[in-house]
Amino acid sequence: MAEHYDVIVIGGGPGGYVAAIRCAQLGLKTVCIDDLVDQDGKPSLGGTCLNVGCIPSKALLDSSEQFHRLQHQFGAHGITADNVAIDIGKMQQRKQEIVKSLTGGISTLFKVNKVASIHGRGRLMAGKHVAITNPQSGEITETIAANNIILAAGSVPVALDSVPFDGEFVVDSTGALGFDRAPARLGVIGAGVIGLELGSVWSRLGSDVVLLEAMDDFLGAADHQIAREAARQFKKQGLDIRLGSRVSKVSSTPSGLELIYEQKGKQQSVEVDRVVVAVGRRPASDGLLAPDCGVGVDQRGFVEVDDQCKTAVKGVWAVGDLVRGPMLAHKSSEEGVAVAERIAGGAGHIDFNTVPWVIYTSPEIAWVGKTENQLKEEGVAVKIGNFPFAANGRAKAMEDTAGMVKIIAHAETDRILGVHIIGPHISEVIAECVVAMSFHASSEDLARIVHAHPTLSEAVHEAALAVDKRAIHKFG
C-alpha cells in the first residue's frame, strides 16, 4: 500500500520548498520530491533559482561589477591599481560555495520543520497518487499518495530549433553561468532579463557582447521611458543590442561561429566564439502529468488553475512557473505559502498587482504596478513625477548617478498605480513602493513620509513630490 501524506509537493524550487515548509509549520505531514543534482551529481534542493538561476547569476553579476568598478570607476575615488586581473576559476568557485551554502540550508530547514525529502522525479497519477521515478533510468521506485498535492516543477529554458544546444559553444543560461573564461566574442540571443544579466557579466569580464533581440521594442514589459534610459546606459557600457533580429541559423567557421539573422528584411550575420540562447523559459510540465490524472495544461504547457491555484482536480494545486503569471521566484514562493494556508483551512493571499520585477544589471531596473503606456491604453488619467539620481546626494557620493525614479498616480484619487526605477541598488529601494501600493497609498503619502538623508530612497520621496510639481531638489 502506498505511503500516505497530508501534502505531497513535486518540485524543490522557491515555490515547492517554501510551500513544503509552510505546510509542515501548519501541522501537515509533508514530503517534497525533487530530481535536481549539483555539479557533483548529489541531490540539491532549491530548484533552478538557487542552483543555476537567481543566486549564481547574482554572484557572478556582483563579482563582475566589482572588477569593472576597480578598472573604470574607482579612479574617481582616488583609488588606483596596476595590473588588475580576475581569476575566473576562483570567481566560479565562490559562486558554487554560495550555492552550496544556500541549498544545504534548505536541507537543514527541511529537517528542522520535519519535511520529508525524496530524490526522484514525481509524476501525478490518477487518484492523487504520485509515482516517483529514478531520474537516470526512468524506472518507478515507489508510489505515494496524499490528500493534497502541490505541483511546483518550475520551468526550463526555451530551445531554438535553428540554434540547437551543443553544451559547449551553444548553451542555455545554465551553460553561460559556468564558462571557465570570458569568450572574446559572445553572442546572446534574447535581450530580456536573462540575456541582459548574462551579457552584462561577460561584457564586464572582457567579452565583446552582441545581443540579438527578435522584438522591435527593447524591454517591452518595462515602462518605455525607463527602457529608453536603460538602452542608453547599456550602449555606453559597450553592449551591442540589435532589435528586430530574428536568428535563423548558426554555423561553424574557421574562427568560431556565425549567427545568421534577419533584420528589417535583410539577412545579416555576426561572428562569435560562443552563443547563449536566452529567449525565455517554459513550464516544466512535460512528463509531470499522467494522461488520466485529470489535470489539464494549455497550449503553451502551463498547468490550468483558477485564481487560488486550484486545478480541475480537488486537492491538486499548482504554483510558480508552472502556472499563469510572471516567472519570478518571489511570486512562486508567495503562491506556495498561500496554497499551504488554504490547504490548512486559512485564507491565503497574494496580490498579483503588487509583484515587483527586478533586472540586476548595472544600473538595476525595477518596477511595480502598471506602466504609463498600459494606463494610457486603458484610458486612465494619470499624473507623473520623475526624479533623477544625478540630483541625489547619496548617489553622487557613490559615484553612481545614472537613472531615475518615476511615480505614476491616478489623476483624481492620487492613488499610486505604478513605480518604475532605474538606478543603483534599486532592487532594495523598490520594496518601499511595493509596501505603499499594497496599502493603497497615494503619492501624497510617500511625499509626507520622512526619508533619511542622505539615502537613495530620497529619490522616491522627491519623485512623489514631483507628482504635484513640488520637488525640492529638481530644476524645472
- Cβ-based burial of 285 (10 A; exposed 0-12, middle 13-18, buried ≥19): buried
Q: Residues 127, 133: contact at Cβ < 8 Å?
A: no
The answer to whether 343 touches 415, Cβ cutoff 8 Å, is no
Closest residue by Cα to residue 309 from 6, 15, 13 = 15
Q: Which residue among 224, 420, 453, 461 is the active-site one? A: 453
> Position 135: which residue type?
P
Q: Under a CB-based contact definition with an 8 Å cutoff, are residues 434 and 362 in contact?
A: no
Q: Is residue 19 a contact partner of residue 336, using CB atoms and an 8 Å limit?
A: yes
Residue whose C-alpha is closest to residue 187's, from 254, 260, 265, 263 = 260
For residue 458, the SS3 value is helix
Phi then psi dihedrals of residue 92, to 5 deg: -65, -35
One DSSP character per residue, 358-402 reads EE-SSSEEEEEE--HHHHHHTT--EEEEEEEGGG-HHHHHHT---
Closest Cα to residue 133, out of 118, 147, 146? 118
The pair phi, psi for residue 261, each rounded to 5°, is -145, 160
Q: How far apart are CA 337 and CA 137, in angstroms?
A: 33
Q: What distance in Å separates the CA atoms of residue 229 and residue 107, rounded to the nearest whole number?
A: 42
Cell readout for 472 is 525640492
d(CA 24, CA 27): 5
CA 160 to chain centre: 21
Sign of the four-CA dihedral 78, 80, 85, 91:
negative
H/E element, 414: none
How far the first Cα of the chain sits from its last, in Å, is 75
Nearest to 342 by CA among 312, 313, 316: 316
Instruction: Say whether 299 sits in a helix, a strand or coil.
Output: coil
Q: Is 453 a catalytic residue?
A: yes
Residues annotated catalytic, as ranges: 453
